[in-house]
Structures are given as structure tokens and as C-alpha cells.
């Protein structure tokens, strides 16, 4: 798309395509009009994206220098929140299409998990308008729910928001930067977004030398994914917002905000054109494929067309069977991942038991007999929680890494199956088609949150009464022995609970993922079927009707050519 080409010229041609498609009855007419409307708005949507509890809302508040979005220690944002320039106010858009206008102060009642649990109010998104220099040129900040949230609907809403963004601000956390799921998300954004900023938040949780180490690590990963133009910013959004309230500034945050402002003031127009070109090309490619398939199918006799479609359906069935085999391999791989991780978790528990007993003995040393019961209970509780939290965090990281690798492999296989179906259509109908889009990975959907159960009270009943008959030192020894047994039992119980919990989450994730990849493969074949069905319908028309349809189809083709010219290039063939 050349500098001389304007978004308005692309929009004009997209509207022309929609008008031409209306005459043919193709469903892509609605899609073309939606794209034209989006181009007319002149917006560039910057999705603030990341896993849950990365400080995305706090970062936006700091960028706007006001406490607009609710924040908290638990997952807060339940639905996407769009923030654009305009007269201050909020429009709540519901899933059924209804819209409600509210004050900014009422935003929390619709967008937080606390006020709108499980999105029971049926909110699709909130559209906030306010005056802010950062938004004046058409930039729209989109606060997305956290990926990998404990709430599945949050993750689903976040995934939809990602697919609808032009650029992105990927928010990581300094104390655990770039997990496998986040690395996959970074590469996904590199392919989808025309500009991606990476923020390493919460650097105030690390010592200074560690901040430099983390920043260098993230910079290297960002450069690999985004090229030389990729940079990351290490900052603390909470510290920056507090500094603003106190009338000051934060150096790390201001470096990021300055880069974002420079992008908005200098590069936003070019980025908007790139996003418009991306969306228009995707629309053009789908319509062009359908049009040429329909023409070729209409040229064939009925028997010849039926024969070719039979060959095509056999090719589709073969690839779909192969995808089922691929899905079975994914199922086996996730089982293996879980078994290996749980084995390491059990071994880790065994390795921690001596340290637990030492901690119990140290706690009991010198304690009065009357304090032992409560002291041992508290120490068991603390030790089980501390030891298992650490072990479980490692297990979750291992499961997430294993899932990211296996799901990416399955995604690549699904893309290969879709490409094979396209190649079959090309060979059978003797024409070339546009490559199908890469299926969205969604590796970041992994949600392996786990909450510990509190150990039951220990030492109750006869055992406790008998201990009180022993000398004080022996009472302490027996209390430590009993507490160690309780701790060991609880740790092993948590291994079992964690296995069940992880297996359930992995199974749900695998099923959703397999279904999504199957849908991607099916979409490629359904496009061919729709074109052939249209061709059959044209073959049955009277010659006058067919001539009229031919003129309509020729008008669509001509306007596709005009759009291609506006995009600054020729069709590939």
C-alpha cells in the first residue's frame, strides 16, 4: 500500500465490492460493509494484551493519567473495554445488541468480575469516550480480559479481542517474564498486529541488577520475534501512577509513553493504512477464490462437475481422518506430559519431607506443652502451603511448556491439512487459490490455576490427650512426629488433587483446541463447496438470468481489480 493511497480510497472500493456482492447474493457483502464502516471510523485499535494479573488496567490508567479502570489483586476485567477520543461517557454494548449509556463512574458495575460475575449481565464490550491527547489521532486502547484467567469466559473474550486488534501492547510481569504461552502469544502478534509494543511491568518487585537481566532477556526474545524494530520497556505502572498522583513522573514509564506518543503522532497514519491493507487483502482473497472457483465449476458439465466434487470430497475426508489421527497423538502427548509432571511432583514432595520435619522441630523447640497443638497446626499449614506452592508452580510451568509445544505442533499439522485441501482443489479444478490463513494458535489459553486446601486440625481426640501425659520433651517429639505425618499426608493428597485438576483443565483445553483446528480445516473445504453450489444454481438458470448474473459477477471481479490496484499491487496471478 503506497504512501499516496488513502484509506478513503480503499474504503470506496470496498463499498463498491459490497454493492456488487449484494446483486449476486453472496454473504461476503455483509463482511465488506463491516470493513468499510471500520475504515470510515479511521481508528487504530491497540489491544493491551497479556495473561491475567499483569497490570494491564493499571498501565492504561497511567497512560491516561487518571484512575479510569478498576484494578485489584484478583482478576478484574471481565469484558473488553475500548477507550477512544470523544465526549466523556460510556456505552455498554450487550450480547443481544442492546446498548446502554452510563457515566464513567458506573463502568465498574459492568466490566468487573466482582460486579458482573461470569458476565451474567451479558456484556459484549464497553465503549468509553473521553478527552486524551494519546487518543486524539484515532488510537483506541482496548483493555482485554486476562488470558489464562481462572474464568473461562474472560479468556474467550480476550481471544476475540486479540483477533480484532490492529496493534498491540503486550504486558509481561518482571518476576516471571515470557512463559511459553507468552512467547507463543508474542509470535502470534508478530504475524497479526502491524505494530507491537512489549512492556515488562512490575520491575519494582526485583532488585536493580535483576531488572537489567530480565530486560536483556526480553529484548532478545522480542528482537527474534519482531525483528530489529522490536523493543521492550521495563517499568512499574503502579509506581508511575502513584508518582502522577504525587505530581511527579517515573523515568521508565515515561520512556514507554514517549515511544507510544511518537508512534501515534508520527507513524499512526502509515500503520492505519497497513491494517486497512491487511484486512482488505484478506477479504479480496476470499472473494477472488470463490469467484474463480464458481466460474470454473460453471464451465463444467453436470457429470464432470459431480465427478470432480467426488474427488474433492475424498481428498477432504482423507485430510480430516488424518487430522483425527493428529488429534489422537495430541491426546496421547497431553497424557504423557501430565504423567511426567506428576511423577516429578511426587518426587519433589518426597524430597521436601526432611526439610518439613526440620521446620516442625525448630518450631516446637522450646515451646510450652500448651502451645504445641496450635503451633504445630500453624506450622503444618505454612509448610504445606509454602512447599507445595513452589512445587506446583514448577509443575504448572512444565505442563504449560509441554502444552505450548504440543499444541503448536498440532496447529502446524492442521495448517498442513488445510493447505493439502487447497492443493487438492487447485488440482481438481485446474486453477490457483490463495493460501489459507494460518489458524490462530490460542496457546495462551492454558489455565492451570490451583488453590490449596487447608489441612484438617491435627492431634485431636485420644492421641492429643495421651501426649499430655508424657514429659514435656517427649510431648514435643511426639507432636513433631504426628505433625510430620499430617504434613506428609497433606502434601501427597495435594499431588492427587493437582493431578485431577490439571488433567481436567488439559482435557478441556485439548478438546477446545482440537475443535478449533477442525473448524479451520473445514472452513477451507466449505469455501469450495459454496462456490460449486453457486455454480450449480447458475447452471439451472435461464440464459437471460445467467447473463445478468454474469454481468454481476464481472462487476465484482472488476471491483476486486480496483481494490487490488488501490492496495498497491497486483493479484498474484
Q: Please check whether residue 73 is in contact with residue 67, taking contact to mean a CB–CB distance below 8 angstroms.
A: no
Per-residue pLDDT tens digits of the chain, which is 573 residues long = 444 456 777 788 888 888 888 877 777 788 888 878 877 777 788 888 887 678 888 999 999 999 888 875 444 546 788 899 999 999 998 888 888 999 988 888 888 777 777 778 888 888 999 998 888 888 889 887 755 433 343 444 445 556 667 888 889 888 878 776 677 778 777 777 778 899 999 998 888 778 888 888 888 888 888 876 677 899 999 999 999 999 998 988 999 999 999 988 888 777 777 777 777 778 888 888 888 888 888 888 888 989 999 999 999 999 999 999 999 999 999 999 999 999 999 999 999 999 999 999 988 887 777 777 888 888 998 898 888 888 888 887 788 778 878 887 888 898 899 989 989 988 998 888 888 776 655 443 444 555 555 555 544 433 454 455 556 677 778 888 888 998 999 899 988 988 888 888 788 778 878 888 888 888 888 888 888 887 787 766 656 666 776 777 778 777 777 777 766 655 444
Q: Does domain 43-249 have CATH number 3.40.50.300?
A: yes
Classify burial at 331, counting beta carbons within 10 Å of its beta carbon; exposed 0-12, middle 13-18, buried 19 or more.
Answer: middle
Q: How many CA atoms lie within 13 A of 192 on its CB side?
A: 26
Q: How many CA atoms lie within 13 A of 528 on its CB side?
A: 28
Q: Please check whether residue 364 is in contact with residue 476, taking contact to mean a CB–CB distance below 8 angstroms.
A: yes
Going by C-beta distance under 8 Å and a sequence separation of 6 or more, which residues neighbour residue 560?
17, 284, 287, 288, 291, 571
Q: Is 122 left (phi over 0), alpha (psi -120 to 50) or beta?
A: left
Q: What is the C-alpha to C-alpha distance for residues 113 and 141, in angstroms, rounded to an integer?
A: 20
Spans of all domains in the chain: 1-41+273-299+543-573, 43-249, 301-540
pLDDT at 158: 46
> What is the rounded (10 degree) CA torsion for 49, 55, 60, 64?
-170
Classify burial at 401, counting beta carbons within 10 Å of its beta carbon; exposed 0-12, middle 13-18, buried 19 or more.
Answer: middle
Give Dmax over CA atoms of the chain in angstroms: 109
CA distance readout (Å), 267 to 271, 450, 454, 506, 562: 6, 43, 54, 42, 26
Q: Is 48 left (phi over 0), alpha (psi -120 to 50) or beta?
A: beta
pLDDT at 5: 54
Task: Supply the pTM of this predicted model.
Answer: 0.66
- Helical segments of 263-371, H only: 268-299, 302-364
Amino acid at each position: 500500500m503506497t504512501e499516496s493511497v488513502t484509506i478513503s480510497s480503499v474504503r470506496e472500493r470496498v463499498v463498491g465490492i459490497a454493492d456488487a456482492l449484494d446483486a449476486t447474493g453472496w454473504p461476503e457483502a455483509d463482511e465488506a460493509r463491516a470493513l468499510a464502516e471500520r475504515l470510515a471510523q479511521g481508528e487504530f485499535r491497540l489491544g493491551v494484551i497479556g495473561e491475567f494479573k499483569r497490570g494491564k488496567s493499571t498501565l492504561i490508567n497511567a497512560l491516561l493519567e487518571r484512575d479510569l479502570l478498576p484494578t485489584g489483586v484478583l482478576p478484574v476485567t471481565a469484558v473488553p473495554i475500548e477507550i477512544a477520543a470523544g465526549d466523556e461517557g460510556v456505552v455498554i454494548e450487550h450480547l443481544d445488541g442492546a446498548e446502554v449509556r452510563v457515566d464513567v463512574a458506573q463502568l465498574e458495575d459492568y466490566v468487573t468480575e466482582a460486579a458482573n460475575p461470569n458476565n451474567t449481565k451479558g456484556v459484549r464490550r464497553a465503549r468509553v469516550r473521553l478527552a486524551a491527547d494519546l487518543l486524539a489521532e484515532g488510537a483506541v486502547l482496548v483493555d482485554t480480559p486476562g488470558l489464562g484467567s481462572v474464568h473461562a469466559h474472560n479468556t474467550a473474550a480476550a481471544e476475540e479481542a486479540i483477533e480484532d486488534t490492529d496493534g498491540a501492547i503486550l504486558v509481561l510481569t518482571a518476576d516471571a517474564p515470557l512463559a511459553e504461552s507468552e512467547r507463543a502469544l508474542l509470535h502470534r502478534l508478530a504475524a497479526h498486529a502491524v505494530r507491537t509494543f512489549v512492556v515488562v511491568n512490575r520491575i519494582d518487585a526485583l532488585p536493580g541488577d535483576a531488572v537489567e537481566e530480565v530486560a536483556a532477556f526480553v529484548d532478545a526474545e522480542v528482537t527474534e520475534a519482531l525483528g530489529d524494530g522490536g523493543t521492550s520497556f521495563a517499568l512499574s505502572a503502579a509506581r508511575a501512577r502513584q508518582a502522577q498522583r504525587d505530581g511527579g513522573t517515573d523515568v521508565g514509564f515515561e520512556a514507554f509513553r514517549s515511544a507510544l506518543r511518537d508512534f501515534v503522532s508520527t507513524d499512526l497514519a502509515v500503520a492505519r493504512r497497513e491494517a486497512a491493507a491487511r484486512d482488505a487483502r484478506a477479504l479480496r482473497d476470499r472473494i477472488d477464490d470463490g469467484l474463480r472457483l464458481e466460474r470454473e465449476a460453471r464451465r463444467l458439465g453436470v457429470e464432470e462437475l459431480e465427478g470432480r466434487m467426488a474427488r474433492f470430497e475424498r481428498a477432504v475426508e482423507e485430510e480430516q481422518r488424518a487430522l483425527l489421527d493428529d488429534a489422537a497423538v495430541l491426546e496421547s502427548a497431553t497424557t504423557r506430559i501430565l504423567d511426567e509432571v506428576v511423577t516429578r511432583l511426587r518426587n519433589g514432595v518426597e524430597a521436601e519431607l526432611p526439610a518439613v520435619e526440620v521446620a516442625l522441630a525448630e518450631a516446637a523447640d522450646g515451646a510450652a506443652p500448651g502451645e504445641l497443638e496450635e503451633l504445630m497446626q500453624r506450622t503444618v499449614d505454612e509448610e504445606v502451603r509454602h512447599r507445595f506452592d513452589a512445587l506446583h508452580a514448577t509443575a504448572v510451568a512444565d505442563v504449560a511448556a509441554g502444552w505450548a509445544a504440543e499444541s503448536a505442533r498440532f496447529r502446524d499439522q492442521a495448517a498442513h491439512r488445510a493447505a493439502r485441501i487447497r492443493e487438492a482443489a487447485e488440482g481438481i479444478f485446474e486453477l490457483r487459490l490463495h493460501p489459507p490463513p494460518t489458524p490462530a494458535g490460542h496457546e495462551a489459553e492454558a489455565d492451570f490455576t490451583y488453590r490449596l486446601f487447608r489441612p484438617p486440625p491435627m492431634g485431636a481426640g485420644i492421641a492429643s490427650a495421651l501426649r499430655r501425659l508424657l514429659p514435656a520433651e517427649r510431648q514435643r517429639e511426639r507432636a513433631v512426629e504426628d505433625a510430620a505425618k499430617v504434613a506428609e499426608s497433606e502434601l501427597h493428597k495435594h499431588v492427587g488433587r493437582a493431578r485431577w485438576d490439571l488433567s481436567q483443565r488439559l482435557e478441556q483445553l485439548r478438546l477446545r483446541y482440537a475443535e478449533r483446528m477442525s473448524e479451520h480445516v473445514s472452513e477451507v473445504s466449505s469455501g469450495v463447496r459454496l462456490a460449486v453450489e453457486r455454480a450449480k444454481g447458475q447452471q439451472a438458470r435461464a440464459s437471460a438470468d445467467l447473463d445478468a448474473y454474469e454481468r454481476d459477477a464481472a462487476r465484482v471481479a472488476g471491483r476486486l481489480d480496483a481494490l487490488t490496484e488501490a492496495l498497491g499491487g497486483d493479484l498474484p496471478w
